[in-house]
Copies of this chain bind each other. A is one copy, B any other.
């Protein structure tokens, strides 16, 4: 149901507590594992010859389609980052490896899928992917400050094809060139997306659709172990639930609101474990329980 284009990486992560090397990571991994709790996902990505079978098995166990994960000569994309206590990730090293020449080709068996998730990659590649599909009903896009700064024109071309933009607070201000959130959202809508989801990191998220909006706070978490992948997991929970709930092309505000809450919940699981440790263990009961607690947390 969902085609997810993005990165698969080996991450070396140093938090304020510990350091671990060459863990499975990347936007497509976090996204698809989160989304797989709700919907069928096919990953379109590239890995190197060093990619381990046990990592592939994780996707298979989650019933994620791996036929479009291409293995190329060379090494898997490697990211190394560190987190100062309560701070944003600082990149220490980026080794693109096989990802450097990633030019996603959508196989025929995926071209008619209704939902396309464009993970945070070069906007030119994102555009090429959209063009290869047979008019997907929903195109969802993630991006980052790097592309807004370096390839804004290409990003705007991609944006004209996007239905749902998932973006953080700093990025939406950069992209819209407006510091007021409500005005910024209006400008983004003029670029293409009908639905805008703004991530506030550990502070929750806001959803904008038509003239309506919906805001959710952070879920206080007992202990943040590792923030890596929170944003991708948020997108995965959102799109995964969205795909399972949206019927015959009809979207409702209710579906979008619930999807936002599921995104928030999946992200909260991710940050409670190191890398994918916690996310890989989550089942439907745990999700439903946290959904209920979250509802209690914000109802009055």
Contacts and interface: CB of A to CB of B under 8 A. Distances in A.
Interface stretch (A3-11, A60-68, A253-261, A275-283): A253-261
Interface residues of A, number: 30
**Copy total for this chain:** 2
Nearest to A299: B299
A204 interface: yes
Interface stretch (A75-83, A137-145, A215-223, A243-251): A215-223
A242 to B, nearest CB: 14
A220 B213 contact: yes
Interface in A202-258: 203-204, 206, 213-220, 222-223, 254, 257-258
Interface stretch (A44-52, A110-118, A177-185): A177-185
A298 interface: yes
A217 B182 CA distance: 15
A252 to B, nearest CB: 12
B218 A215 contact: yes
A297 interface: yes
Given A203-B203, A215-B297, 16 more contacts: A85-B179, A86-B179, A182-B222, A206-B220, A213-B220, A214-B297, A214-B298, A214-B300, A215-B218, A215-B298, A216-B217, A216-B298, A258-B300, A260-B300, A261-B300, A295-B300
Interface of A: 85-86, 179-182, 200, 203-204, 206, 213-220, 222-223, 254, 257-258, 260-261, 295, 297-300
